[in-house]
Every structure is written in structure tokens, then in C-alpha cells.
Amino acid sequence: MNGKPVAVITGASRGIGRATAIALAGEGFDIAAIARSVNSEGMEILGPEVEKRGAQFFPVGLDISCTVCQKEVVSNILDRYGRIDFLVNNAGVAPLQRKDLLEMTEESYDRVMNINLRGPVFFAQKVAREMIWMKSQIDGYKPAIIFITSISAELSSPNRTEYCVSKAGLSMASNVFADRLAKEGIRVFEVRPGILMTDMTIKLTDKYTKLINEGFVPQRRWGMPEDVGKAVASIARGDWDYSTGMVFEISGGLNLHSM
């Protein structure tokens, strides 16, 4: 069995997932990095960044929406390391096209919900079952699960309804997992990013930069994936061991309600 703790990150090839994997490698975790393709440019970049921090890098291919594929992936990670200490459920997509609520299609809705909500919920379920068993097998084992949601869990965007609904659902999933797993000694947290500079927002850079400069974001700057990585690393260090169910909003103050 691997002596070091192991972190599993979905959607690890870019953006928040990549920054989180690098941050956790710096905290002493070996990294099982999940992406749809292990041969992508993003994974090729991530591997050396993880390894130069003294961590093992295990690239894993998985489309998170394929729930029947998840069991084999969990088994492969356990076969390699013998443990999973930390799960970051990060994989997610935006609608292929932003359309008004009244024009939203069932196909778009189903795609976003399967990747952003259904897949992560059942992947967390499978990992949680293994974590419960490992509690009795590993001395000092302190497992945790993180759901990466979005400010869109609460803020409405009628031109991407399916995304908002998926993140609101994932926020409640985090709450329910925290409730159910507290007695099992498994901590669960929600990390809720705001407007971040990622591939998902690159086409809207001008729009969001204008809003940010006008004060829509109180701290008046773009969020970066590394901002989320730092928050996840803090949780992984055990800084919030008595705070299961906590929501960490990394949004530059968008959580403020001011007049």
C-alpha cells in the first residue's frame, strides 16, 4: 500500500483541475489525474509539474458521464496506490451554445446534467464506499471529498439554464454527502468559484473584464484557477477539519449583498 496520501482530481487536464492537482502535489499528495484523454496536451503539461514537486503522477482516462466506466477507474487507482484520500470532483462543461431558457434543447440539458451532476454524484458515491472501508485499514486515514460548483449555483443566467441547474444540484449533492458521511469520518466540502480566467470564459473575456472593472466583482480582478487550488490545498492540509459541509466561495466578493 502506498505510504503517501493520494488525491484524485477529475477534469484535471486544464483550468481549475490542473491548478488543483499541482497545488495538492505540493502538499505531499500523489496525484491520480482524470481526464477524457490521457494523451491531451494538458495532461502532458501537468505530468512534469506534478512530478517536479516530488509526487507520483497517474493519468487516467474517463468520461465522467459514463457511470458504468467509473468502477473500473476506481479499481485501477486502488490497484496502483491502495488508497484514495482526497477526491476533487471538478469535471464540468458549459453548454455548447448559450441559448435563452425558452430555446434550450433537451439534448443540451442532458449533456450538461450528465457531465456536471449525474457523473460526479455517482463517482463520489463509488469513492465514498471505498473510503468507508479504508477507514478501518489505514492508520491516520482522514478522507475528504470536494465538489467544485460555481456561483451559478445561486446566480441566475437565463442563457445557460442547464449549467445553473447542474451546479445548483451539485451544491445540494455536496450538502447531502456531507450529512450522510459525517458519521463515517469523511469530510465533504463545496468550493464555489466565481468568474475565473479559464477555457470556459475565454470567449467572453471582453464582457467579463468590463463587468469586473465596473465593480461587479468587488475585488475588481479576474479570479485565477490557482485561487481555487490554494483553497483546496488549505482543506487538504486539514485546516478545516471541523467544518464538514462548509461552502468556500472563491469569487472576489460576489457573495456580498450590498446596496
Residues with catalytic roles: 163
Burial level of 213, CB count in 10 A (0-12/13-18/19+)?
A: exposed
Nearest to 61 by CA among 83, 42, 85: 42
SS3 57: strand
Angle at 29 between CA 23 and CA 34, to 5 degrees: 75
Angle at 110 between CA 109 and CA 115, to 5 degrees: 105
Nearest to 77 by CA among 30, 11, 17, 137: 30
